[in-house]
Structure 1
């Protein structure tokens, strides 16, 4: 009896160790997948704050909460099952889908650059002040943000899936669920801080302490600079990530001329810089991927504008 109990305890200990090891694997894979999706995450954080424009300050955080819940619902109820189904029944489709998503990212970034340089916008900006009903305004902003989030979340999930496509399906599902929760919390936590940063700064600027006043004015003045910086970083990150996805896809399909050229350029630059070779190789690869992304996105923008005219 005692030996049977000891054997049972040994089995339980072994199972516990296996579970802990699996949890470590899931956590590591989720961190890796989240880092790969960084470009889309930055753009998501840069885009979302505009959906609270025109709303009263007391409604900003509740609206962001609604958008965050909608984003999590997008990921967990729709995109995660779709991703697992693709992985289980059509894994061959993952690379083409990723390349389509990467092309979309390149298009979005190139479109932003085109609009910035030409001053043109595809659609007129609606005057939100014309919507008199506050509830209707909130519903409009929330639904628009959730629709935009669905596209960005789809690309995030596809990138995450590509990072764990070789592990068992249950582990893929766990990793994607963890990525969904972590990225949603990170993005919308950052968005909430960005949106309320000017209110926090204004409150601090009204305090009697000179230190609080200085910090408060600094926060208020930093807000527009931060938004512009996020927009620039998000655009660059989309070109880098989208171009990198396309380059990798070309390599998978045996079209290795561009991937090999980037690899050789990065290796040559790294050899010149000695101790900084790893950083240099990464920078050259990222720059090359960004150039590829800009070319792909520019071609798509040109074609769409040609058809539009």
Structure 2
């Protein structure tokens, strides 16, 4: 009887160790997948704050919460099941889908650059002020943000899936679930902080006195416009880098190696020329090369789209 109980306890301990090991694998894979999707995450965080521009401060956080819930719904109800179905039944479609998503990122970045050159088509505050119904105004902003998030979340999930394509389906599902929760919480937590940073700074600045608090508050108020502009630039650059990198990797998968090999040789040559800084130099050359390829692809797509519109 005692030996049977000991054997049972040994089995339970073995299962617990296996489960812990599996959870470690899932956590590691989720971290790797999240880092791979970093460029898209940065752009998501950079894009979302514009959806609360012109709204009253007391409605900013509730709207961000609604957008975050919509983003999580996108990922868990639509994108995660679709990703698992693709992995289970048509895994060959993952690379073409990734390349399509990468091309879309490049197109979006090219459109942003074109808008910067031509000037924006409308001012968010003017557009919002034209609608006197606050409820309809909020609903429009939230639905627009969730639609944009769906595209970016789809790309995040596809990138995450590509990093765990060789593990069992249940582990893929757990990794995608972890990525969905982690990235949604991270992105919209950062967005909430960005959106309220100027209010926090204004509150600190109004406290008065000669302490460091008011100085930090005034610094925050003055820095926020610069930060928002920097986020926009970083987001656009990240889209070109990530989108171009996905396309380069896809070309390798399809054995169309001229561009990937040329970029690799250029990075290696630059690395040899810089000695101990070789790893950093190679990464920079690869990133810049991917960004240039992304800009070319995005520019061609934008040119075609605008021709069709005309």
TM range (shorter): over 0.9
How do residues 1-309 of structure 1 correspond to structure 2 at under 5 angstroms? 1-119=1-119, 121=121, 127-210=127-210, 211-309=212-310
Deviates more, 1:126-135 or 1:91-100: 126-135
1:166 alignment partner, SS class: coil
Q: Distance in 1 between matches of 2:189 and 2:120?
A: 32
2:187 alignment partner, SS class: helix
Q: TM-score, normalised by structure 2?
A: 0.97
Shift of 1:5: 1.0
Q: TM-score, normalised by structure 1?
A: 0.97
**Count of paired positions:** 308
Shift of 1:209: 3.3
Q: Distance in 2 between matches of 1:147 and 1:278?
A: 39
Q: Distance in 1 between matches of 2:141 and 2:306?
A: 27
Deviates more, 1:101-110 or 1:202-211: 202-211
1:165 alignment partner, SS class: coil
Q: Distance in 2 between matches of 1:127 and 1:115?
A: 17
Structure 1 residue ranges (4+ consecutive) displaced by more than 4 angstroms after TM superposition:
123-126
Q: Distance in 1 between matches of 2:136 and 2:115?
A: 29
> Cα deviation per residue 1:131-162 (whole Å; 9 max; x = unaligned)?
11211111111111111111110010001000
Shift of 1:120: 5.6
Q: Distance in 2 between matches of 1:181 and 1:209?
A: 42
> Cα deviation per residue 1:104-127 (whole Å; 9 max; x = unaligned)?
000000111111112264x78661
Q: Distance in 1 between matches of 2:208 and 2:229?
A: 31
1:171 alignment partner, SS class: helix
2:256 alignment partner, SS class: coil
Q: Which runs of 5+ in 1 are unaligned?
A: none
1:255 alignment partner, SS class: coil
Q: Which runs of 5+ in 2 are unaligned?
A: none
Q: Distance in 2 between matches of 1:35 and 1:115?
A: 29
> Cα deviation per residue 1:174-218 (whole Å; 9 max; x = unaligned)?
000000000000000000000000100000001133211110010
1:55 alignment partner, SS class: coil
For the aligned residue pairs, the C-alpha RMSD in angstroms reads: 1.2
2:284 alignment partner, SS class: helix
